A and B are shown apart, each in its own frame.
Chain A
Amino acid sequence: MNRLNTRTLTHLDWLEADAIHILREVVGQCANPALLFSGGKDSVCLLRLAEKAFRPGPLPFPLLHIDTGHNYPEVIDFRDRRAAELDARLVVRSVEDSMARGSVVLKHPSESRNKHQSVTLLEAIEEFGFDACIGGARRDEEKSRAKERIMSFRDAFGGWDPKNQRPELWSLYNARVHQGENIRAFPISDWTELDVWQYIQREGLALPPIYFAHPRPVVRTKGLLRPVTPLTPALADDQVEEIRVRFRTVGDITCTAPVESEADSIDAILAETAVTTLSERGATRMDDQTSESSMEERKRAGYF
């Protein structure tokens, strides 16, 4: 009964079909999932995949954003506009509220709120009783993410136990949890940064403007470009330069750096991505560089 098939899917079509399959499994198996939507490029792809998976029906889950309060306003505007266009329910929970409740305590006022998103996320999961959170994390981003299952189990404390993950066979996903536990589902696990940009191009997806080259004052610090913003002002002996930059990933202002670039179109970004010598997080994330296992530690504590 086997034969050689002449019609096959291109790699992008295959990745798309696979992600749609995963999204539908989450919805088929879980009672109350949410899709994490930050307005960043990976979650923009996720949202498009969700449309392809469920249209003409409504999206069968709300969008959830954990806001550190330190996001670029362009990204927040974009987030709200996209959610409205799609007629999706958008839930925003903010780290500042957790701080007010006392569940997040910063070591000092200028400490990055990035890792504290985990607390707010877990609070939101509990508040709404979400049994699954769909995220746009990719295995090629970081070495502990490279180890993650497509449907990854989190215990009642939101914890990930990388030494004892559920076996995950074929595409027979097991998203079963007991009350209080949850699943993190990653439909674009097997996509690379280049796949994401190729998909954005093919689908003609809109993005927040800071993904494209624009002038911005920055300070060169430890090989990264630290943006100068009211939150991250220049220090006394900083040399501020205004250069053309773009963001490869948009996250918390205090820990996300842009890269120098003239790329002001998707085509130009694709060309740069294909020949880049620096990884997405390596070129942009200040929070991954504090120790060899920063991401693994954050993920064990409930991070995306």
Chain B
Amino acid sequence: MSSPHAFPQIDHGLLRFLTCGSVDDGKSTLIGRLLYDTKAILADTLSAIETSSQRRGLSEMDLSLLTDGLQAEREQGITIDVAYRYFSTGTRKYIIADAPGHEQYTRNMVTAASTANLAIILVDARKGMLTQTRRHSYLAHLVGIPHLVVAVNKMDLVDHDQGVFERIRDDYLYFAARLGIGEVRFIPISALHGDNIVARGARLDWYRGPTLLEMLETAPAAHTEVAENFRFPVQYVCRPRDSANPGLHDYRGFMGRLESGEIAVGDAVQALPSGRISRVKEIQIGGLGIPSAIHEQSVALLLEDEIDISRGDLLVKPDEAPEAVKTIDACVCWLSETPLSTARTYLLRHTTRKVKAKVGRIHHRLDVNRLEREPAEQLQMNDIAHLSLKLAQPIFPDAYADNRATGAFILIDESTNDTVGAGMIATVESV
């Protein structure tokens, strides 16, 4: 390579994170600042932002225009949907999701949170914790984001006062303890002026902890913390039956991604729901063999025995097989403007499997402000509730706390085909 320094020699993989919190706390500005200070904004993009800022009569460049890319967002100065941005520090690639703060767009925040491994929760130093701060914190915790960073922003507007920072930190810790959130880190910042983002700000010299970028650089990448059990939902069965190539006549490749665990040639596997057991004869990518595969790899598995397996089936190791369940208890975020109806049947998608589902009972709805459970007959958009679902056919889940991929499901309204609910399986009881 002609420019050996330009590319990561040691590859620490990838970290996905999101910014969230209440309206106008400075999430988009923070992303803009992070990209600006890591020199990830190219000259023409920067000059387009400058021109747009001027056109809007702003005296300074508005870095939030970097992610607020839709016309409607720029008109109103708010974020409506998630924007994805990328940067790389030479050792690690980052995928950033900038989530909207408005309550109306909570479902877009959930979209961003579901794939993130770290959340930066912004709090406006002048305002302290607001309902949306609590809601987003709760959601971040609920979807199992392992690393939370609370960034107290706009420190410039409170004279960089350490007392303000500490009061917000204490409020947050009290709230986090009630939710059962374990590890949280705190940092005072000014997204507008760039203090403690990439460089330290002289005005916040009382803060001795790492900068925000240092926190990102040292957070473990997603795929280093995963469940051990091998889970392989089958996406597609490859049967070439190519008359020109008789060697492929009996080829049957079960294609999918390892949602967790590892697999090697020779390992015993069990197919669910059939329960049939076989051994891995070959593992392939693009038709070429590899000896073993790990979590997050997309491969094709060839088995020693001819067993009937199709899309929606799950391959596991025989001694780690999950139970078949037809009733699940789950936490559901309702995402649709049409309320959840206990009379309706929804389509539930769990891994590659889809089954019909009906709500059995809504146990309770959560009031995110008071962190209290309240009875509910119905769910409105953005409600979070604990409920039970009855399924027409069994699924083979893990509890969400054990496995984010095999503990999650979505609900689809078949009349509109919209995704209306996001579910996380609480406990698994067998049929």
Contact with B along A3-36 (1 / 0, CB 8 A): 1110111111111111011001101100000000
CB pair B110 A57 closer than 8 Å: no
CB pair B255 A24 closer than 8 Å: yes
Could you tell me the distance between the alpha carbons of A237 and B41 in the complex, rounded to whole angstroms?
A: 35
Q: In angstroms, how far is the closest chain B Cβ from the Cβ of A199? A: 12
Contact with B along A154-190 (1 / 0, CB 8 A): 0000000011011111111010111000000000011
Take A172-B349, A277-B43 as given contacts and tell me if A167 and B111 are in contact as well, using a CB distance cutoff of 8 Å: yes
Could you tell me the distance between the alpha carbons of A274 and B295 in the complex, rounded to whole angstroms?
A: 29
B95 interface contact, C-beta 8 A? yes
Q: In angstroms, how far is the closest chain A Cβ from the Cβ of B92? A: 8
Which of B13, B44, B404 sits near A14, CB closer than 8 Å?
Answer: B13
Could you tell me the distance between the alpha carbons of A73 and B297 in the complex, rounded to whole angstroms?
A: 38
The chain B residue with its CB closest to the CB of A263 is B2
CB pair A147 B42 closer than 8 Å: no
Interface residues on B, range: 35 or more
Q: Which residues, 119 to 150 on A, are CB-close (under 8 Å) to B? A: 139-140, 142-144, 146-147
Number of interface residues of A (CB under 8 A): 75
The number of A-B residue pairs with CB atoms under 8 Å apart is 228
CB pair A5 B295 closer than 8 Å: yes
CB pair A57 B349 closer than 8 Å: no
CB pair A166 B84 closer than 8 Å: no
Take A10-B13, A170-B404, A270-B3 as given contacts and tell me if A2 and B227 are in contact as well, using a CB distance cutoff of 8 Å: yes
Could you tell me the distance between the alpha carbons of A4 and B221 in the complex, rounded to whole angstroms?
A: 11
Which of A143, A146, A194, A271 sits near B1, CB closer than 8 Å?
Answer: A271
B239 interface contact, C-beta 8 A? yes
Could you tell me the distance between the alpha carbons of A171 and B226 in the complex, rounded to whole angstroms?
A: 16
CB pair B294 A9 closer than 8 Å: yes
Take A8-B13, A9-B297, A53-B298 as given contacts and tell me if A140 and B85 are in contact as well, using a CB distance cutoff of 8 Å: yes
A55 interface contact, C-beta 8 A? yes
A282 interface contact, C-beta 8 A? yes
Could you tell me the distance between the alpha carbons of A18 and B251 in the complex, rounded to whole angstroms?
A: 24
A235 interface contact, C-beta 8 A? no
A54 interface contact, C-beta 8 A? yes
Q: Give every chain A residue within 8 A of B85 (Cβ-Cβ).
A: 139-140, 146
Take A9-B296, A17-B297, A55-B286 as given contacts and tell me if A274 and B69 are in contact as well, using a CB distance cutoff of 8 Å: no
The chain A residue with its CB closest to the CB of B92 is A11
The chain A residue with its CB closest to the CB of B85 is A146
Which of B44, B74, B81, B110 sits near A169, CB closer than 8 Å?
Answer: B110
Take A146-B84, A279-B44 as given contacts and tell me if A168 and B111 are in contact as well, using a CB distance cutoff of 8 Å: yes
Take A8-B224, A9-B297, A172-B349 as given contacts and tell me if A24 and B256 are in contact as well, using a CB distance cutoff of 8 Å: yes
B257 interface contact, C-beta 8 A? yes
Stretch of B206-214, B323-331, B415-423 with 4 or more beta carbons under 8 angstroms from chain A: B415-423
Stretch of B160-168, B228-236, B389-397 with 4 or more beta carbons under 8 angstroms from chain A: B228-236
Could you tell me the distance between the alpha carbons of A13 and B294 in the complex, rounded to whole angstroms?
A: 11
Q: In angstroms, how far is the closest chain B Cβ from the Cβ of A185? A: 14
Q: Give every chain B residue within 8 A of A194 (Cβ-Cβ).
A: 88
CB pair A28 B235 closer than 8 Å: yes
CB pair B43 A278 closer than 8 Å: yes
A293 interface contact, C-beta 8 A? yes
The chain A residue with its CB closest to the CB of B240 is A57
Could you tell me the distance between the alpha carbons of A13 and B84 in the complex, rounded to whole angstroms?
A: 20
Stretch of B19-27, B172-180, B406-414 with 4 or more beta carbons under 8 angstroms from chain A: B406-414
CB pair B84 A293 closer than 8 Å: no
CB pair A282 B45 closer than 8 Å: yes
CB pair A146 B298 closer than 8 Å: no
CB pair A143 B295 closer than 8 Å: no
Known: A169-B110, A270-B3, A271-B3. 13 other contacts (CB 8 A): A1-B227, A2-B227, A24-B235, A52-B286, A147-B82, A167-B419, A169-B114, A172-B410, A174-B412, A270-B1, A274-B7, A278-B43, A282-B48
Q: 8 interchain pairs (CB within 8 A)?
A: A9-B297, A24-B298, A52-B286, A55-B286, A56-B240, A267-B2, A279-B44, A296-B70
The 3 lowest CB-CB distance pairs between A and B, nearest first, are: A143-B69, A282-B44, A274-B6
